[in-house]
Each structure stands twice: as structure tokens, then as C-alpha cells.
Structure 1
Amino acid sequence: MKLWYSDSSPYARKVRSVMYYHQLQNQIELLQATSGMDKHSPHNQDNPLGRLPALQMENGEWLYNSSLIAEYLDHLGSQPSLYGSGEQRWQILRLHYLADGVLENELSTIPEKRLRPHSEWWLERHQQIFQRTEQSLIAIQQSIDLFGEALNIGTLNAVCAIDFLLFRKDWTYATNHSTMASLKSWVEKMNARYACLNETYPK
């Protein structure tokens, strides 16, 4: 199998963390893309969406979405599933997709902040995203209280999302959020406790 990824992508980190958790790294060739926006980058040749991560399975077919790739790797792995079972499964998935939603909102504004002059920013939209992230982080804090420092696809993805907000704090203004100090303390404990998170810390 082959995995196209970026060190700074929180979506790719989720997938790589699942890979390390299930000790699948010897079965997957890691191919790092230097720029997801470069149309000439090799990852775009067989990847119609041009998004990272993208996994080529052993049969040659591609999986494009990070949540789909993570679940596929969890299916292949021999460790206990990260997705839980019974009623808890829905709590885990709720947290997982809440974290995904935060990333989708924040990443929708970052290219504009990076590439356009401040005078051309859609400031009303940026403020709306900040407020949505504020409310979402409060909900994430409430959700992780159910799990503590247990590792599942929800807590794993929450770590990826929070670390990304802090990694890109110049564009996300992460430290201005009311719950960030508490969440930062939690992710530091998770990163120290689980090798699969420590190995994939954003660069």
C-alpha cells in the first residue's frame, strides 16, 4: 500500500496515527507531498480530488477521505478497534466528527489568510468561524470528559485538531479560545502517553 501525506496535515496525521497504533507501517509506503497545492506534485496524478491523505490499496484502487482511510486501516489492524462498540461507538464517532468539523471550518479560511492581503479578507466570515470554533471546543471539552485519556478515534482526532489549531495559531488565533489552556494540557498528556500520537506530531 502507498500513502500520500503531508507532515502538517491534521487529516494525514489522523491516518498515520491509526497506522502506527495498528503497527501497519511496514505494510505502507509513506510518500510525502511537498505541496498539496502544486498541480505537478506526483500525488495529483492518480488522485482526482488532489487532497491529502490518499491511500492506494494493494489492489491498486485509491481511498481519498481521511475518515474512510482511518476506518479501513482500523479494519486491517490487529489491535483493539479504535471505533468502540455499542452505545459508546456513537459517542466516539460524535467526537471524531466534531473535531473534523472544526478542521473543515478553520481550513476554509486559512488559504485566504495565507495568500491574500489583509484588505481582501472576508472578516465577517472569519469572525463567524472563530465563534463556531469557540462553541465547538467547548463541546469537545465536554466530550473528552467522558473518555479521559483513553485512546479511540474520537480522542485521537481531537488531539489532531487541537494540535493543528495551536500549530497554526497565527491564522487560527487558537490561544484566544476560552477552553484552549485546558485542552492544550490534555493533548500534551495524550501525546506523551501514546506513541502513535507522539510519532506524528505536526512539523
Structure 2
Amino acid sequence: MPILRSSPPSPFGRKVKIAAAVLGLSDRITVEMTDTKDPHDTIRQQNPLGKIPALVLDDGRVLFDSSVIVDYLDHLAGGGKIIPAGPARHDALRLQALADGIMDAALLQVYETRFRPEDKRHPEWLAYQADKVARGLASLEADLPAPVTPDATPNVGQIAVACMLGYLDLRFDGAWRASHPKLVDWLAAFETAVPAFDTTRPPAA
């Protein structure tokens, strides 16, 4: 059985877990806790970058990063499920890229404050990453992703946006909500339509 190396707070790992759930594949994957800070954790051999998520296949091959893994899961489920075919494909992939980019910028802010002593932090760098998040959220507020309904399978872009917003709730106390009411409503609808969003919710920091 494939092994998903991840940790509960990872928004990218959450994206993979939600994808597996909506594709009906959760029971075909074992999730294994991973500590990327531990030099003895085997993640550094499984993924030379030492990053999560990584999916260890039965034949020993390892897939990373999350966009590759969700593509593999979609293929495993028959294709065209969370990565649409035809013209909608690149719209979904573009939305995923935007959400992933916002997550990357948010993670870099967290790492700057977590791993650097306060006197060595770089305010301009933090502001640079925060501006990426702000621009990305403004773009999504102005051009909302299509709503997710209980009778439809969300695409990778919608899943990524939900995980990104969930990560901002986790690490930035939901500060995004005050200025983005349409996204707040969009996420509430996603949570109602996709039970896996709740079951993959990370513990409070």
C-alpha cells in the first residue's frame, strides 16, 4: 500500500489527503507522520529535497510534490475526476498554481519567524511574501473559483484554494477573513460539500 509522508499542519499534505478522499482512495493509502526537521527521518532519502508530501509507491518509487501526487491519484481513479479534461483542465491547474503559490509565500513567512532569531529577521522579506499573499487573495476575491456543491467532485484548484485558506486560518489567525467576505462564504460552502475538509483539519497551533 502506498505511503503518504506528511504531517497534519501541512496544507500541501492536506491537499493530497482531500484529493484521495474525494476520489475514494483514502483506504488505499497509509499516512505516515514525518518530521522534516529531523535529520534521521527517512524523508531525506525518499525525497532529496526533504519536503512533504511525498508518496512512496509499492515499487519503491517516490512521487513529489503535491501537484504530481494529486495528478497520480486522479490517474489511479480513472482520470478526469479532479483534473478535468478539455478546456477546463488548465483553468483548474492555474487555480491550483495560484493557491499553491500563496501557500508557499505563507509558509516562508512562518519559517522566517520560526527559524530565525528576532534580531536576524528580514522585515522586507516578510513584507515581500505577505504582499504575494495579499495580491493572491485579492485576485481570488475578485474572481471567485466556481462554488463546490455536494453533488459534484471538486477539482484540484478548488481543493488547493480551500487548503490554502485553511492554512491561513491555522497560522495567521484567520486575518484574511475580514477583507474577503466572498472567499469566506466560498470556503463555508466548500466545507459543507466536502466532508474531508473537516476530517483533515489540523489541530490548533
Give TM-score scaled by structure 1 length.
0.88
Deviation for aligned residue 1:158: 0.2
Contact 1:134-1:178 at 8 Å conserved across structures: no
Call closer, same or farther: CA 1:136–1:55 in 2, change over 3 Å.
same
**Alignment gaps of 5+ in structure 2:** none
Aligned residues of 2:53 and 2:65 also touching (Cα < 8 A):
yes
AA aligned opposite 2:70? A
List aligned pairs for 1:141-180, cutoff 5 A.
Answer: 141-145=141-145, 147-150=146-149, 151-169=154-172, 175=175, 179-180=179-180
- Whether the 8 Å CA contact 2:5–2:52 is kept in 1: the answer is yes
Aligned to 1:168, the other structure's residue is in SS state helix
% of aligned pairs identical?
28
Question: Letter of the aligned partner of 2:201 in structure 1?
Answer: Y
C-alpha displacement at 1:96, in angstroms?
Answer: 0.7
Residues 97-176 of structure 1 mapped to structure 2, 5 A cutoff: 97-145=97-145, 147-150=146-149, 151-169=154-172, 175=175
1:83/1:156 CA distance change after superposition, 3 Å: same
Q: Write out per-residue CA displacement over residues 45-69 of structure 1, whole angstroms, 9 at most, x where no aligned residue.
A: 4332211111011221111211000
**1:21, distance to aligned residue in structure 2 (A):** 1.0
Q: Distance in 2 between matches of 1:181 and 1:163?
A: 15
CA distance, structure 2, for counterparts of residue 39 and residue 78 of structure 1: 37
Instruction: Give the AA of the match of 2:171.
Output: R
Aligned to 2:37: 37
Q: Which moved more, 1:2-11 or 1:85-94?
A: 85-94
Deviation at 1:198, TM superposition (A): 2.1
Q: Which amino acid aligns with 2:4?
A: L
In structure 2, do the counterparts of structure 1 residues 73 and 140 end up closer, same or farther at CA, with 3 Å as the change threshold? Answer: same
Q: CA deviation at 1:78?
A: 4.8
Q: CA deviation at 1:178?
A: 6.2
Separation in 1, partners of 2:131, 2:47: 34
Corresponding letter in the other structure for 1:113 = T
Contact 2:141–2:180 under 8 Å retained in 1:
no
1:12: which partner in 2?
13
Change (3 A) 1:87 1:178: farther
- Figure out how many residues of one structure are paired with residues of the other and give that number: 198
Q: Could you tell me which amino acid in structure 1 is paired with residue 86 of structure 2? A: G
Q: 1:107 offset after TM fit, Å? A: 1.5
Residues in 2 aligned to 1:55 and 1:91: alpha-carbon distance in whole angstroms: 25
Task: State the 1:176 CA deviation.
Answer: 5.3
What is the SS of the residue equivalent to 1:51?
Answer: coil
Structure 2 matches for 1:16-95, cutoff 5 A? 16-33=17-34, 35-78=35-78, 81-95=81-95
The alignment's C-alpha RMSD in Å is 2.0
- Provide TM-score, normalisation by structure 2: 0.87
Deviation of the 1:177 alpha carbon: 7.0
Equivalent pair of 2:46/2:56 in contact (CA under 8 Å): no
CA apart distance, 1:85: 2.3
Alpha-carbon separation, structure 2, partners of 1:94 and 1:143: 13
